């Protein structure tokens, strides 16, 4: 059954506001703690932009922004269109006493920045929620400087037959049950597998990157293909 949240940005914003208090705990639990490893792997791609200006889109509760500090940015903007996750992120940044990060609300379809503003952009498990993915990629290319890098982590559908079956059962049966139990939100973790099922296959998404202003684009399989890391260079 189609979930309205899959097509209506306002519904997605409300959903993330509602699950914000349980979001970190569920991410760690449902990924068996691998979410931190995936972020660290992606951030290694940003090492060549040390001292640059970074942008974390769909920053949520701030874990991806904190991971990006490993690449030693001069300044980092954590941007999300949902307000309550950003409140949690700001508290984390305060505890870390990091003056490098500035958290702000904003829309990935209309990034509130001038062209050539950033050296690196990161999106961790957020782009599948964007209403117009191609438009968001063009916006990212616009705000990146020449030779700037975008790293995108996203859940994917494994292709190895046995693991694909296990993953599908876990993702479509276990994840919604546990997510509903711990978050108290009936739809959020039913929407999650739906949004992954409708996300483009890796070759198609790589083509979208190349068609959006990136001269090179590659994909990297993580954890048997259950997560993909996409890297684009402007």
Write down the pLDDT at residue 188.
Answer: 79
Distance CA 96, CA 90 (A): 10
Write down the pLDDT at residue 144.
Answer: 98
Distance CA 159, CA 138 (A): 29
- DSSP for residue 170: I
Write down the pLDDT at residue 86.
Answer: 96
How far is residue 109 from each of residues 62, 93, 141, 162, 178, measured CA to CA in Å? 20, 25, 12, 38, 32
227-233: strand order across its sheet: 101-105, 75-80, 53-57, 118-124, 144-155, 227-233, 216-222
Nearest 5°: phi and psi at 32?
Answer: 60, 35
pTM equals 0.93
Write down the pLDDT at residue 36.
Answer: 96
Asked if the 12-157+200-233 domain carries CATH number 3.40.50.150, the reply is: yes
Write down the pLDDT at residue 1.
Answer: 28
Write down the pLDDT at residue 207.
Answer: 98
User: In what helix (H) or strand (E) does residue 150 lie, and over which residues does it extend?
Assistant: strand 144-155
- Residues of the chain predicted below pLDDT 70: 1-7, 97
Write down the pLDDT at residue 4.
Answer: 37
Do the beta carbons of residue 56 and residue 65 sit within 8 Å? yes
Write down the pLDDT at residue 8.
Answer: 78
């Amino acid at each position: 059954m189609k979930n309205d949240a899959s097509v209506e940005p306002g519904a997605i914003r409300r959903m993330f506001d509602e699950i914000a208090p349980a979001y970190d705990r569920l991410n760690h639990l449902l990924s068996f703690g691998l979410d931190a490893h995936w972020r660290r792997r992606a951030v290694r791609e940003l090492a060549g932009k040390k001292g640059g200006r970074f942008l974390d889109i769909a920053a949520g509760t701030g874990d991806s922004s904190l991971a990006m500090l490993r690449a030693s940015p001069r300044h980092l903007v954590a941007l999300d269109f949902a307000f309550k996750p950003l409140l949690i992120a700001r508290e984390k940044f305060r505890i870390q006493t990091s003056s490098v990060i500035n958290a702000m609300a904003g829309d990935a379809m209309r990034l509130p920045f001038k062209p050539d503003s950033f050296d690196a952009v990161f999106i961790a498990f957020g782009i599948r929620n964007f209403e117009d993915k191609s438009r968001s990629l063009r916006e990212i290319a616009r705000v990146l400087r020449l030779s700037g890098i975008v790293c995108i982590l996203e859940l994917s559908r494994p292709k190895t037959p046995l693991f694909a079956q296990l993953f599908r059962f876990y993702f479509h049966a276990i994840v919604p049950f546990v997510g509903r139990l711990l978050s108290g939100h009936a739809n959020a973790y039913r929407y999650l597998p739906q949004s992954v099922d409708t996300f483009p296959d890796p070759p198609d998404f790589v083509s979208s990157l190349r068609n959006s202003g990136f001269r090179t684009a590659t994909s990297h399989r993580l954890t048997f293909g259950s997560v993909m890391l996409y890297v684009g260079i402007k």
